[in-house]
Amino acid sequence: MKLSRLLLPLVAATLFITGCAHPYYPPPPQSAPGYSVPPLVARAQREGFRSGNEDGALDAYDHRGYHPRRDRKYHDAPGYDPALGAFPPYRDAFRNAYLSGYDQGFYHR
């Protein structure tokens, strides 16, 4: 009888501690060979921001009005290097950075 009194709290504590264990999350799958997103995105952000900043400053200087999505560079996303990966992620990162750069150039921020 005395053994069951000691055993019950021990079993309960063991079950409680086991239930609090952190779940295991496996690592994410590896990307396809030759598809390197970070350098691709870094280049897109650098090129997009620089191009947007130049175009925004020029549009502000010439009083052409605010129209970043009508500029050719926004649509063409120049500076892409196929050796770094697929074009769609580059294009999307370029366009986002272009809009940020355009705002800064146009509003002189």
* Neighbour-count burial for 66-101, b at 16+ CB within 10 Å, e otherwise: eebeebebbeebeebeeebbeeeebbebbbbbbbbb
The pLDDT tens digits of the residues spanning 7-50 come to 777 777 776 666 555 554 455 455 555 554 478 999 999 999 99
Hey, how many other C-beta atoms are within 10 angstroms of the C-beta on 37?
A: 14
The pLDDT tens digits of the residues spanning 86-107 come to 999 999 999 999 999 999 999 9
pLDDT at 36: 44
pLDDT at 47: 95
Q: What is residue 26's three-state secondary structure?
A: coil
The domains of the chain are located at 34-109
Nearest to 45 by CA among 99, 85, 105, 82: 99
Does 78 score more than 50 pLDDT? Answer: yes
pLDDT at 27: 55
Give the span between the Cα atoms of 7 and 50, in whole angstroms.
70
Nearest to 51 by CA among 85, 86, 95, 20: 95
Higher pLDDT, 6 or 57: 57
